[in-house]
Amino acid sequence: MDQSTTCPMCSARFDTEDELHKHKMADHANADEHVGHDNETAEFKCPMCAATFTTKQELDEHTHKAHGQHL
């Protein structure tokens, strides 16, 4: 598998671009609203991927939805 079939948000891997697209729409549809890329405002970093969040609640929701785990 190449990088184009790996989700940039959670590192999940897929066999096709279509599967990756469906995953992004289902699991990360609102990611742009929650994920911060500015280290000064993003206080909570996901320990399983590069996603960062401004609140613990957003981090908890992400880890549950994207990784199937609770912190």
Percent of the chain with pLDDT over 90: 0
The pLDDT averaged over each successive group of 10 residues in the chain (71 residues) is 69 85 75 48 80 84 86 70
Rounded distance between C-alpha atoms, residue 49 and residue 22, angstroms? 19
Domain count, the chain: 1
CB atoms within 10 A of CB 42: 17
The upper half-sphere exposure of residue 16, i.e. CA atoms within 13 Å in the direction of its Cβ, equals 3
Query: Could you tell me the pTM of the whole model?
Result: 0.45
Strand bridging mode 52-53 / 44-45 = antiparallel
Q: Residue 18's domain spans which residues?
A: 3-67
